[in-house]
Amino acid sequence: MFVRMPRRDLTDEGKALRLTLYANGHRPTNQEKWAVYAQIVALPGCQWYSRHLHSNWCSENDRVLANALRDYIVTCLHFVPNPTLQQMVLWANQASYDERQVVAATLEEFLSRNYVGPPGNGGP
């Protein structure tokens, strides 16, 4: 007979530490993620929290942030299809994103729409 184990939840303090990683749209570095993980497992009642669980939780938050940024860029490109660097910096400031992330995401989206390949390989 299969016996389902009760689900374990992080303590409120552990959850709060995790949430600080992504507060205000911050995109944490790997170093920041693992520093918070170390703080969480040091809390009473959180020793069971694995690196795998933490990695999955962070990956999901990273994916959500990346999709939100991409959606924002797609909307901006709808109104300004060929933006200048100044326009991309303005978009970043308006939405409180890091300027480098907005420029990189804009270039990725722009190239995915318009890139046709090098000459001789199906390109112009």
The tens digit of pLDDT for each residue in 49-73 reads 999 999 999 999 999 888 899 999 9
- For 72-100, how does the pLDDT look when each residue is reduced to its tens digit (9 = 90+)? 999 999 899 889 999 999 999 998 888 99
Predicted structure pTM score: 0.66
Average pLDDT over residues 19-27: 85
The pLDDT of residue 36: 97
Domain map (residue ranges) of the chain: 12-114
Instruction: Report yes or no: 25 and 96 within 8 Å, Cβ to Cβ.
Output: yes
